[in-house]
């Protein structure tokens, strides 16, 4: 019996889902824009329902009413007017189940939203899903309730501004959930692909059935495929599962048709090696045939162990020289020196030959001092490792093509139809891997350029500038702002000659600084050219366009006949061929090699600057010491008259106080006046020097 689609201010705007038992419709309040999802039994009469079905429905409603947890769908009160109207069109008389509306849909839809997700979800999503569903199941188990039907269809995505990725994951459909009795349960429920063996074989079971189902779902979200022979019929599949080894977490059919067991997660995935290895250990426990063995040491449950794994800090590393990815577990007490030792060991290059830089999501470039602790980094942060004498290789390696892609290039006539989807997955992952490597290489180069633009050269020269400024300012204060006092002319002349020598020395040092600025100006200009050139190179060899074509929603359609298969294989092979050609051309381009050499020269500049800086500072220090000695002698002169005759209205004769000086002045008055004029000229010249020096220093921009 169909109900009205408008009730008061409420309007039904969509049907969110329909199963064998009920339908979920979405209602919106047209005044408040509030949403509510309402689950209603789809049967036409009460007689169509068995006792167990009615019991299951009522239990789900009661469970949701009594449960409050952020990772379990929330029961929501329905408006009375809407409840009354919908109940009039409810022939089974089963209670309505109003719930919060999770606008991002369910996990199954999310897994199918993009072709690339055939290879699994990004690490951020994997982490959030494991954390949220583990928390939700742990809460249910604490209430002595088992869900019994964990699968992507029963996980919904709710928007959350405070959450990384803006998504929180919630468990829905508690229709199969029930309280467990001490002796266990025997009813056969759940979806077959996610069903624990003990349920399939009608044995008594308990909470560990949820461990198994969660393990199946986790494997699927990591790899995009189910772990145990999804192609086979249920009985055949479970017979193979029954005899798998205790460490096996994957059973699959090879290209040759052989059934193979594996204790590893498939290589086509987007999680770090560290997380992969930890989750493999976790999966080997939760996917044990014997439910009693699905626990960890000290009887800890899989939910607590999953939290232990997710709490680990993982450092992501990209070797720019080898074009390889690494990851390492670090703690709050891990030093950068330890991390560098690990990396040096793994890439087989001495630590002294490597440069380490971190790129954060805020595009901040950080260096890694050996004696400092590894900071808490965002998951998107990455440590780039460069080889100093070959800063960035640009030869993207594709020598190890996946097996099915090699088969594809041998010709469609040799290709097996049942491997088509698996081949497409390998093609997707291979092209994504090459694109990701190219993207990381570009980011590594721009990170290096940013580092060079703000390198230690700037700090060294800023310190030199300050020292130079202080010395010039001291000389200026004595010569330009000298006191109006009387001095012994002969001693004054000696002091002034020494001051002139100091000024000459400072002028030479200023020339040295100007020569250095010329080198730095080239550095700044060249780095800008390299930055622009790198952008141009990566735009010319753009892999993203080809990857977008291959990963388009309508590219892969399951072939219905041989003709469809041939068309698909030819299209796939053509795109892959174009992809490999671009990579080959990119590897032959010499521009990045030239940029690498220039960056290497600029990287060495601070090391070359260090001895120059030491010598400059030493000379400046000597000048400063000599200046202090001259200043002391200058201040020791007895004041008798002004430095320049007639400057303050006094006569030239008043410059001398002693008889000896008066005699010399009278006998050599012309020479004395000439010397006074020379001093005045030198002071003016010094003023010009000081002004030009300060103007130079004020405009002194390095990089």
Angle between helices 123-142 and 273-286 in degrees, nearest 10: 30
What pLDDT shows up at residue 652?
40
The confidence band for 509, taking pLDDT boundaries of 50, 70 and 90, is: low
What are the extents of the domains in the chain? Answer: 6-99, 107-310, 313-452, 455-541+589-698
Taking alpha carbons only, the member of 437, 340, 341 closest to residue 396 is 437
**Contact predicate 72/140, CB 8 Å:** yes
Element (H, E) at 148: none
**Contact predicate 114/548, CB 8 Å:** no
The residue annotated as part of the active site, out of 132, 149, 210, 248, is 149
Mean per-residue pLDDT for 662-672? Answer: 52
Identify the weakest region by mean pLDDT among 334-348, 469-483, 646-660. Answer: 646-660
Range with the largest mean pLDDT of 88-92, 174-178, 303-307, 380-384: 303-307
| CATH number for region 313-452 | 3.10.20.90
What pLDDT shows up at residue 91?
85
Angle between helices 489-540 and 669-698 in degrees, nearest 10: 20
pLDDT of 325 over the 80 cut: yes
- As to burial, measured by CB atoms within 10 angstroms (0-12 exposed, 13-18 middle, 19+ buried), residue 121 is buried
Taking alpha carbons only, the member of 657, 659, 627 closest to residue 486 is 657
The confidence band for 522, taking pLDDT boundaries of 50, 70 and 90, is: confident
Tens of pLDDT, residues 25-57:
999 999 999 999 999 888 777 777 788 888 888
Mean per-residue pLDDT for 296-317? Answer: 91
Identify the weakest region by mean pLDDT among 133-137, 333-337, 679-683. Answer: 679-683
What pLDDT shows up at residue 698?
45
| CATH number for region 6-99 | 3.30.200.20
**Contact predicate 115/552, CB 8 Å:** yes
Query: Does residue 371 have an active-site annotation?
Result: no
Class of domain 107-310: mainly alpha
The structure's pTM equals: 0.80
Taking alpha carbons only, the member of 180, 230, 221 closest to residue 204 is 180
Between 220 and 624, the more confident residue is 220
**Contact predicate 26/35, CB 8 Å:** yes
Would you mind telling me the total number of residues written for the chain in this entry?
Answer: 703
Q: Say how far apart CA 594 and CA 596 lie, in whole Å.
A: 5
Tens of pLDDT, residues 252-296:
998 778 899 999 999 999 999 999 999 999 999 999 999 999 988
Between 692 and 132, the more confident residue is 132
Tens of pLDDT, residues 346-380:
999 999 999 999 877 665 666 788 888 888 877 77
What is the C-alpha radius of gyration for the chain, rounded to an integer number of angstroms? Answer: 40
The confidence band for 244, taking pLDDT boundaries of 50, 70 and 90, is: very high
What pLDDT shows up at residue 608?
65
Q: Say how far apart CA 320 and CA 337 lie, in whole Å.
A: 19
């Amino acid at each position: 019996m169909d109900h009205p689609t408008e009730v008061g201010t409420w309007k039904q705007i969509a049907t969110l889902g329909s199963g064998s038992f009920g339908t979920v419709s979405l209602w919106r309040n047209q005044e408040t824009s509030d949403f509510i999802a309402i689950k209603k039994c789809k049967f036409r009469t009460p007689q169509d329902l068995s006792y167990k079905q009615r019991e299951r429905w009522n239990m789900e409603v009661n469970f949701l009413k009594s449960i409050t947890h952020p990772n379990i769908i929330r029961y929501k009160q329905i408006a009375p007017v809407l409840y009354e109207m919908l109940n009039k069109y409810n022939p089974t008389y089963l209670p309505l189940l109003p719930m919060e509306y999770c606008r991002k849909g369910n996990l199954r839809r999310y897994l199918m939203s993009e072709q690339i997700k055939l290879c699994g979800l990004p690490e951020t999503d994997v982490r959030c899903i494991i954390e949220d569903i583990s928390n939700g199941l742990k809460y249910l188990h604490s209430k002595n309730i088992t869900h019994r039907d964990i699968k992507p269809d029963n996980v919904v995505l709710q928007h959350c501004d405070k959450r990384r990725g803006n998504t929180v994951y919630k468990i829905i459909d508690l229709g199969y959930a029930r309280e467990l009795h001490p002796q266990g349960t025997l009813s056969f429920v759940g979806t077959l692909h996610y069903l624990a063996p003990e349920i399939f074989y009608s044995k008594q079971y308990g909470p560990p059935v949820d461990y198994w189902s969660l393990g199946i779902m986790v494997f699927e979200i990591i790899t995009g495929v189910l772990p145990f022979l999804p192609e086979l019929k249920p009985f055949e599949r479970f017979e193979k599962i029954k005899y798998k080894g205790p460490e096996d977490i994957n059973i699959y059919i090879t290209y040759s048709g052989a059934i193979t067991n594996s204790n590893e997660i498939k290589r086509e995935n987007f999680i770090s090696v560290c997380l992969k290895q930890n989750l493999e250990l976790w999966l080997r426990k939760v996917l044990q045939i014997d439910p009693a063995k699905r626990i960890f040491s000290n009887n800890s449950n899989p939910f607590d162990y999953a939290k232990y794994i997710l709490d680990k800090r993982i450092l992501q590393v990209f070797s720019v020289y080898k074009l390889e990815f690494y990851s390492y577990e670090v703690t709050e007490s891990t030093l950068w020196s330890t991390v560098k030792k690990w990396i040096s060991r793994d890439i087989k290059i001495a630590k002294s030959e490597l440069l380490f830089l971190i790129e954060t999501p805020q595009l901040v470039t950080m260096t890694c001092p050996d004696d400092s602790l590894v900071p808490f980094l965002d998951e998107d942060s990455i440590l780039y490792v460069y080889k100093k004498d070959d800063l960035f290789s640009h030869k993207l390696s594709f020598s190890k093509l996946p097996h099915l892609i090699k088969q594809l290039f041998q010709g469609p006539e040799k290709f097996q139809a049942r491997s088509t989807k698996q081949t497409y997955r390998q093609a997707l992952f291979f092209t994504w891997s090459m694109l990701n490597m190219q993207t990381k290489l570009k980011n590594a180069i721009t990170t290096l350029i940013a580092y060079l633009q703000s390198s230690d050269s700037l700090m060294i020269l800023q310190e030199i500038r300050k020292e130079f400024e202080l010395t010039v300012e001291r000389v200026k204060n004595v010569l330009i702002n000298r006191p109006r006092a009387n001095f012994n002319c002969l001693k004054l002349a000696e002091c002034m000659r020494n001051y002139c020598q100091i000024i000459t020395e400072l002028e030479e040092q200023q020339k040295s600084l100007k020569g250095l600025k010329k080198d730095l100006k080239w550095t700044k200009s060249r780095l800008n050219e390299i930055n622009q050139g790198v952008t141009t190179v990566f735009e010319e060899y753009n892999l993203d366009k080809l990857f977008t074509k291959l990963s388009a929603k309508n590219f892969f359609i399951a072939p219905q006949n041989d003709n469809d298969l041939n068309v698909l294989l030819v299209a796939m092979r053509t795109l892959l061929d174009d992809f490999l050609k671009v990579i080959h051309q990119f590897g032959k381009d010499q521009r990045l090699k030239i940029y690498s050499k220039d960056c290497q020269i600029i990287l060495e500049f601070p090391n070359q600057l260090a001895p120059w800086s030491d010598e400059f500072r030493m000379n400046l220090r000597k000048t400063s010491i000599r200046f202090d000695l001259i200043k002391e002698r200058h201040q020791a002169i007895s004041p008798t008259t002004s430095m320049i005759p007639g400057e303050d209205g006094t006569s030239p004769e008043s410059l001398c106080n002693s008889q000896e000086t008066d005699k010399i002045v009278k006998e050599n008055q012309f020479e004395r006046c000439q010397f006074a004029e020379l001093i005045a000229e030198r002071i003016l010249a010094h003023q010009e020097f000081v002004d030009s020096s300060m103007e130079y220093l004020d405009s002194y921009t390095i990089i």
